[in-house]
Amino acid sequence: MNSDKLRQEFFNFFEKKKHKIVPSSSLLPSDPSVLFTTAGMQQFKPYFLGEKSPHGNKAVSSQKCFRTSDIEEVGDERHLTFFEMLGNFSFGGYGKEEAIKLAKDFLDSIKVKIDYVTVFCGNKDIKKDEESANIWEKFGFSEEKGNLKFCGIDDNFWGPTGDEGPCGPTTEIYSQGVEIWNVVFNQYYCEKNKTLRPLPLFGVDTGMGLERLAKVSQDVPTIFETDLFLPIISQITGGDEKARRIIADHVRGAVFLAAEGILPSNVERGYILRRLLRRAIRYGKLSALGGQFLIPLAESVIEIYKGAYPEISAKKDDILTVIKNEEEKFEKTLDRGLKEIQKVPNLTGEVAFRIYETYGFPLELTEEIRKVENREAFFLMQKKHQEISRTGAQSKFGGGGEFSPKLHTATHLLHAALRDILGKHVQQMGSDITSERTRFDFSHQQKMTEDEIKKVEELVNQKIKDDLEVDKREMTHGEALKSGALAFFKEKYPERVTVYSINGFSKEICAGPHVKRTGELGHFKIVKEESSGAGIRRLRAVLE
């Protein structure tokens, strides 16, 4: 069955079972603790907690999802950044028996055979899910038969997305060697401090990757041979399989991110879009793809999704322009880097590192062009550089009396308040803090109105009045990003970073220092608002 048909069959099946078809939510979630929508349940989070759902107590959707944590994994047989998740949801509408039966019946209806299922084996806090196992047994699945396995918390417990939220044990369905469907029983709420409390309502949240379902239904070796990928990947002629998969995945992801109005930049979501495009281009070079090649691929992506996601074709021109501009820009940088690689008399690891720093050439790409002598030096330089930037950041912010920790904390509050009042497109583009004032540059198209300035000031002053604790924590850079901490990507981050959070309101990777509580700050006032380049505004603010 082709993918459009599978998606439609899924809707039809659940609509007949009284589920309301709900359109996919945006890839940009309202929850500030996550960068992108990563699961179908996110838009339904409040209804699992008891808020009245405008869709009734049963819903079905096909959700656009993007998982940044998987960027480096792409290239194998199953990882993707962008994917679609089919899901049915219940907020007190049914229990385990019906949830499992619905999943089984749907797969039967499209003739997909289940190889085996997994069920949660329990741990010291949560009991073994015998109930689900008993239900599966009625359908012919059991431990004795070898088609039901009990697994632990890593495999059969899901959630929450972001800092807190619904979560619970799962039962998962496997077909042709891949996990295709995750059926989650949202029985708990996971608090920020990671304790679980039972939810009053029994929630069901299921997620089935459309790409994987298509692979199984179309009986092809991997997701990359399905109709969702073939038209893209078949245009990429050179290179190895891994490169072709990476290019295809990244172009798909880039199209969907650009459709949300994201522009390539060096921070946050814009940085992810830039990273996808530049990574696709680099792999294109490794695959000997000549010239600029992204546009025809992006056009194929749009063609594939124009029926299911009309916003993609509606934004076609914008999407293609964004991709074309970034490709041209990066092409020039790469050309300069290429010349440098060819002409330097002695291409050592040190030189390769400088080229990487200046032109964004990763070592593997440089090595495709010319042999690098003493390549270990590349990694040594990389490590040294990270250490320097760490101590550099400390000494810059550390002393000299030139820098005010109070204004530094105020700057974090300002950043969060701007995102709250103006929208999540606000990203830090630069900042400069002295003992007198903070100066903050951020992405925003229009001049701020007086009313907006007032609202931002009020919000910051409210947070000062609330005397919130400024929490400081060390973690790896990956963990920090996963936890939703904002990062200013112009800096190079060391492996371990410090994350400062202000009580659910602000969370940023930052070298510090900060005050201990917001109550120490005094009164916050914005003294100037002006332009600082195209699409960038600049604020100056003081504490009185």
First to last CA, the chain: 66
Assess 182 for contact with ligand SER (CB under 6 A): yes
Question: Between 60 and 251, whose beta carbon lies closer to ligand SER?
Answer: 60
Question: Between 182 and 427, whose beta carbon lies closer to ligand SER?
Answer: 182
Q: Which of residues 433-492 bind ligand SER (CB under 6 A)?
A: none
Residue identified by tokens 């589920």 is 19
Distance CA 247, CA 176 (A): 26
Report the nearest approach of ligand SER to the CB of residue 164 (Å): 15
Q: Closest residue (Cβ) to ligand SER?
A: 207
Distance CA 37, CA 327 (A): 26
Spatial neighbors of 80 by CB under 8 A, at least 6 apart, are 67, 70, 74, 209, 211, 223, 249, 252
Report the nearest approach of ligand SER to the CB of residue 154 (Å): 14
Which one of residues 206, 217, 226, 411 is an interface residue with ligand SER (CB under 6 A)?
206
Eight-state DSSP code of residue 51: P
Q: Applying CB under 6 A, what is the total number of residues that bind ligand SER?
A: 10
Assess 207 for contact with ligand SER (CB under 6 A): yes
Report the nearest approach of ligand SER to the CB of residue 143 (Å): 24
Distance CA 334, CA 277 (A): 13
Spatial neighbors of 340 by CB under 8 A, at least 6 apart, are 355, 358, 359
Distance CA 19, CA 483 (A): 32
Report the nearest approach of ligand SER to the CB of residue 229 (Å): 21
What mask, x for binding ligand SER by CB under 6 A, covers residues 238 to 277?
A: ----------------------------------------
Q: Segment contacting ligand SER (CB under 6 A): 17-25, 28-36, 204-212, 336-344?
A: 204-212
Residue ranges of E strands in 92-195 = 116-120, 148-151, 157-158, 165-175, 178-190
Question: Between 60 and 468, whose beta carbon lies closer to ligand SER?
Answer: 60
Q: Segment contacting ligand SER (CB under 6 A): 50-58, 101-109, 199-207, 459-467?
A: 199-207
What mask, x for binding ligand SER by CB under 6 A, covers residues 83 to 102?
A: ----x---------------
Spatial neighbors of 495 by CB under 8 A, at least 6 apart, are 386, 476, 477
Question: Between 155 and 520, whose beta carbon lies closer to ligand SER?
Answer: 155
Q: In what order do the strands lie in the sheet with 470-476?
A: 470-476, 496-502, 506-509
Alpha helices in 202-315 (DSSP H): 210-217, 230-233, 241-259, 268-286, 294-305, 310-314
Eight-state DSSP code of residue 372: P
Question: Between 88 and 443, whose beta carbon lies closer to ligand SER?
Answer: 88
Question: Between 40 and 337, whose beta carbon lies closer to ligand SER?
Answer: 40
Query: Tokens representing 84?
Result: 């679609």
Assess 27 for contact with ligand SER (CB under 6 A): no
Report the nearest approach of ligand SER to the CB of residue 180 (Å): 11
Q: Which of residues 32-51 bind ligand SER (CB under 6 A)?
A: 39-41
Report the nearest approach of ligand SER to the CB of residue 394 (Å): 39
Eight-state DSSP code of residue 43: G
- The strand pair at 20-21 and 58-66 is best described as parallel
Question: Between 6 and 277, whose beta carbon lies closer to ligand SER?
Answer: 6
For binding to ligand SER (CB under 6 A), which residues are involved?
39-41, 87, 158, 182, 184, 205-207
